[in-house]
Structure 1
Amino acid sequence: MKYSGVPILVAVLLVCGSSSADESTWTADPANAQLSHDPSLIPKGKGMLFVPAMSVPLGNEPSFYVQQNGARITSATPGRGVLLDPGSYDVLIGSGIISQLIRKTAHVIEGHTTMMKPDWAALVIDVIDASRTSVNESYELLDADGGETYGLGFGIEEERGERVRTWLLKPGTYHIVRVGESVTTIRKFSVQLSPGTLTQRNLVVDSNPNSTGDFIGFYPQPRMQTSRAERTASPITSQTELSGSVQANTSQQTASGDQTSVNLAVQIFNRTRYNTDRDFASIRIILEEGASKVEGEDLSKGVDRAEVRATYIYRVSPRIGPYLRGVLQSNVFPTDRRFSPPRDLIRIRKSGIIDTLRGTTEFTTTPSLSPITLREGVGINSQVIRSFGLNMDLRLGIGARQDVRSDFFEISTNPATGNIEAREFGSTSSTGLEALLIMDARLGRYINLDSEFDILVTSRQADDWFFTWENRMRIALTSFINLDIVADLEREQALRRLQGREQLLLRFSRFF
């Protein structure tokens, strides 16, 4: 720590005597090491209060509150220093409601750092199934003495970037029970928490589809086991999912009518994230290919999707900050339209040239890598809701979209003449105001919903607004089999009409 303009060695005051914490149990650095890494500079007229963290990553532990004369002054996350005026303060640390927090007194001296003695206890519970896979099951934490509840804890889904939260509690004995059960139930597990110690436990849940979700095990994490909280402490995380699916697909297109098909598809999905206190960057890559069989037709190309999405957010505060994003979408293989029996096809070029293709049996409507759709945006990102059951982000800014097309045709029947026409569409570009609403929700024990609405407003006329609305509901049947329900709606600039797509997928997944 530094004292502005005065070359003195800043004293570190340990509140309430010498520390007796067992820092060997911590996943965070020792308290003095955390303090030495804190970048805060102490200006004149100020002192600093430092509450060490026992677990990683920083932000996993509940915030502590600083009060003076009964009024809240500030709050912060353990592991980060707080600059305060010299004086005496009440510091409230822990999980639960206000009356359950640990109340301590801290004396802040100008030009010095006051470190709180970490004599509370920390608890991390990983909720897993019998195959050691994390599950999003909930539990309740009760005080063993009076049966008072300290709230609900939750398992996580690592592929969604979720983190195991850390409990900060008074030393003592606590019970872990299913939500809604009392302290007198025989279906409970107990844990003894010691001062200054981080305790890590695995809670095993019977997650079979026909089970009632009973707790079937509770044991210490082995010394060699890396907890899920530690794995997410690294600023860079990457996960790849390889999955195959069987699809029943209905495509609603007003020009050519509804089409129903059965598809077999393989998808490779990768999400890489960089996440620190201030910076969040995410790159998502999707490659999905498949074959389609329409009744009465030969086997043909089905789903063909290649997509890269990149997002960067700088957090001015925990809930708001500027963002920069980019999206690239295209197809890998060409798309052909087949005719049986052969038909005459009138081809209308974007230049106005019209010719007739006689006895056509097959016509390429989109070649490889056409169209290439690019979307860019910059603006402000706001975390509207952050909870276990629902997360919602709203982004407002300036956006642009380019659709780069080469030999891109749409086939339709002219209602006046009955002729089959292939009309070519050229490249388009537009800019305007963009808005994105991104949501993920847990609708039940095995049901998750992801939704993203992306709109570009290019003028005051609603006909010039273009949007995509993507929705996916995932129902977990087993640890590696999911039932996915997809419903997408899109309005493109070139076509100026709504296109809908619904899919029912039985997906077999493997994470790496």
Structure 2
Amino acid sequence: MLISIIFTFLFLFNGLVNIEASQKAKCGLIIQTLDENLNSIEIDYEITDSIGKLKTSIQNQATTKSKSVWILNEGEYKIFGLGSSFDLTNFNFVRVNLSDGEVKNLSIIFNSKTEEVIGEFSTQTWTAKNPIAQEKEINPNFSPGEGGLLIPVMTDNATEPPFTIVNSEGNKFYDQEMGKVIKLTPGNYSVIVGEFIRGREIEIKNIEVLPQETTIVKPTWSSLIINVVDKDRNQLNEAYEIYSLPEYSNYGQGTGREEGFGENLRVWTLAPGIYKIIQSGESQNTYENFTTVQLQQGELTQLTVVIDEETGDFIGAGVLDIASTNVEIARNWKVFRALYGNLQIVNTKDELSDESETSIIFSIQADINSKYENDRISFLSKLFIDESFTREEGARFETTRDEIRFRNTGIFRLTKRRFLLVRELGIYGRFYVTSKAFRQLQNLDSEFEVLKIDPATQDTLIESNVDQTELSPSFFPLTLEEGIGFNINVMKTTNSNINFRAGLGYKQIYNKDSYEFTSDNETQKIYTKIDDNKVEGFEFSFLNELKPIRRVTINNEFNIILPFDKEKSNSFDGESQINIKLFKNTSLDYTFRISKAEDADKPNFENILQLRFSIIF
């Protein structure tokens, strides 16, 4: 009886194990076979498990294709060149571990002559596609007697530094772009990549370019992206320096970026090894405010440095989850949203009369910036709303500042190769809107008779015994500006960015029911209706962003239109803004504006000094 129970239990247990094994999901393994130049190659190989057992017939799946799909159980496997026997002393293999239900992509490099495995080519840390996919996406068409050379990019944000090609005669071709197929005459070449500091470049020699083929250069370098944030993960535009260890060679200075918006992070192309990142201005031998990072050949490392925004000190650093950081870097759209506010309650007491008055000043600003960026196209949309209100005791609320500015600029880059003073040439298009949200009301000292005259029709609108009159309705005057032409970038560094624009400009000012003060007497106030105005001509612009020291940013923009109509004078506008970050979410802003309409004799000037408290969301 006991023996029957034991056999029954063993039978049921074995059945449950078999059911569980049968229900366990299979694993997928996709193998791409490459030669020494990372070109697809049809080559035989075999897969064994950890004890040398051949799991799947090689003749059925991998003898005629450079890319094969394998369905396997979970476990550890080794891939050998066909004909290589399983041997614990044979190191010419690639090892892979498969988990339950997992699908893995594997690129294996073979010696095309001996058919031995050279190693694995992994792009798992990259945010860009693998080199084979990059070449296929370009799909170059070669003329007779032409071949191609591709230096693959590891990131897809188009900020990896250019490289230099050297032919067999020693001639150099500078400023070549990574991720592009460079068409060349077949022959032997060398390429120089990395930060162009004497003695620290990375040279890859003996690269053979064949007719009608693209030679892909296997990365022997490493790529590094450094993201600077505060403890709340807000982006910071703080500076750092990079040194190699143990020789302490300086590779230069980099910066982070503004919160949620701004330029792409710099991609450093460096030799594999250990590097020390320190706060800008610190000694290279410092034991404070530093971190180190190990860079592996052919890999992209994304390092996050956490800084105390108040002191600028490093408070943390490390390589975080790749999947979470890739999303942000690979994303073309970036959005920045901020609210700025200021509330003042001022109480003034007259000691002689012993009377006091209270006034309230309230201002709010909204700043919404959206940016789209890819290899060729850059689009920036900026919406800025500025509203200020004042109320004296016993009086109405008055709008002291009311402005809406909506600016859209798109740039299509024609070339990134430096030519004389031109660093980057492109075509720009812009569309600007300037308006306001509320009616403009004029409070009068006492009751007057208001006359509003339309010079075009000689009609007169009379308002009797009023102490307030409307000068313009909501959203008017409305100014529209359009422009198209060439955008020239002459400087783009971590501390400065300079652009010039030249093209055709158009401007329309719509003054629906808008009036300006003309004259007055003891009983009357006289206002004249403002006509609509349009101008078109050649436009020229200067734009500059400067970061002279830490926490200080200076932005300048100046635009001028030279009208086609000789009877109209030139019109221009300019703005300079200095932003000084005092504390977290607190900054001191000074803005200087100058503008001149085509029908004005003198320009208008405006100076604004603000202490701004911001909320980033």
Give the TM-score, by structure 2 length.
0.72
AA in 1 matched with 2:304: N
Give the aligned partner of residue 253 of structure 1. none
In structure 1, list runs of 5 or more residues that go unmatched: 1-9, 249-260
AA in 1 matched with 2:403: R
Aligned equivalents of 2:565, 2:260: Cα separation in 1? 40
Give the aligned partner of residue 301 of structure 1. 399
In structure 2, list runs of 5 or more residues that go unmatched: 1-33, 40-108, 112-117, 346-358, 417-423
Which has the higher mean CA deviation after the structures are superposed, 184-193 or 324-333? 184-193
Aligned equivalents of 1:317, 1:308: Cα separation in 2? 28
Alpha-carbon distance, 1:506 to partner: 2.6
Aligned length: 484
Partner of 1:37, secondary structure, is helix
AA in 1 matched with 2:165: V
Alignment of 1:55-204 (within 5 A): 55-57=155-157, 59-68=158-167, 69-105=169-205, 106-187=207-288, 188-204=290-306
Aligned equivalents of 1:280, 1:191: Cα separation in 2? 32
Alignment partner of 1:239 out of 330, 336, 348: 336
**1:314 maps onto 2:412 in alignment:** yes
Aligned equivalents of 1:298, 1:172: Cα separation in 2? 69
Alignment partner of 1:498 out of 597, 603, 606: 603
CA contact (8 A) 1:397 1:434 kept: yes
Aligned equivalents of 2:261, 2:336: Cα separation in 1? 10
**1:220 maps onto 2:302 in alignment:** no
Alpha-carbon distance, 1:111 to partner: 0.9
CA contact (8 A) 1:455 1:468 kept: yes
CA contact (8 A) 2:560 2:570 kept: yes
Aligned equivalents of 1:321, 1:184: Cα separation in 2? 43
1:327–1:110 distance in 2 versus 1, CA, 3 Å: same
Alignment of 1:473-484 (within 5 A): 473-484=578-589
Aligned equivalents of 1:38, 1:11: Cα separation in 2? 20
Structure with greater contact order relative to length (CA < 8 Å, sep ≥ 6): 1
Alpha-carbon displacement from aligned partner over 1:236-291 (angstroms, at most 9, x marks no partner): 3333323324599xxxxxxxxxxxx9852323332223322222223322333332
Alpha-carbon distance, 1:384 to partner: 2.3
Alpha-carbon distance, 1:463 to partner: 7.2
Aligned equivalents of 1:116, 1:19: Cα separation in 2? 15
Partner of 1:464, secondary structure, is coil
CA contact (8 A) 1:428 1:493 kept: no
Give the aligned partner of residue 4 of structure 1. none
Partner of 1:79, secondary structure, is coil
Give the aligned partner of residue 536 of structure 2. 431
Give the aligned partner of residue 3 of structure 1. none
Aligned equivalents of 1:262, 1:492: Cα separation in 2? 34
1:500–1:414 distance in 2 versus 1, CA, 3 Å: farther
Q: CA RMSD in A?
A: 2.9
Aligned equivalents of 2:165, 2:496: Cα separation in 1? 29
Alpha-carbon distance, 1:129 to partner: 2.0
CA contact (8 A) 1:19 1:117 kept: no
1:73–1:96 distance in 2 versus 1, CA, 3 Å: closer
Alignment of 1:414-425 (within 5 A): 420-425=525-530
Which structure has the greater CA radius of gyration? 2
CA contact (8 A) 1:266 1:290 kept: yes
Partner of 1:325, secondary structure, is strand
Which has the higher mean CA deviation after the structures are superposed, 368-377 or 304-313? 304-313
1:495–1:74 distance in 2 versus 1, CA, 3 Å: closer
Aligned equivalents of 1:206, 1:486: Cα separation in 2? 28
CA contact (8 A) 1:263 1:302 kept: no
Aligned equivalents of 2:256, 2:533: Cα separation in 1? 46
AA in 1 matched with 2:550: R
**1:272 maps onto 2:370 in alignment:** yes
Give the aligned partner of residue 499 of structure 2. 393
Partner of 1:226, secondary structure, is helix
Partner of 1:100, secondary structure, is coil
1:493–1:367 distance in 2 versus 1, CA, 3 Å: farther
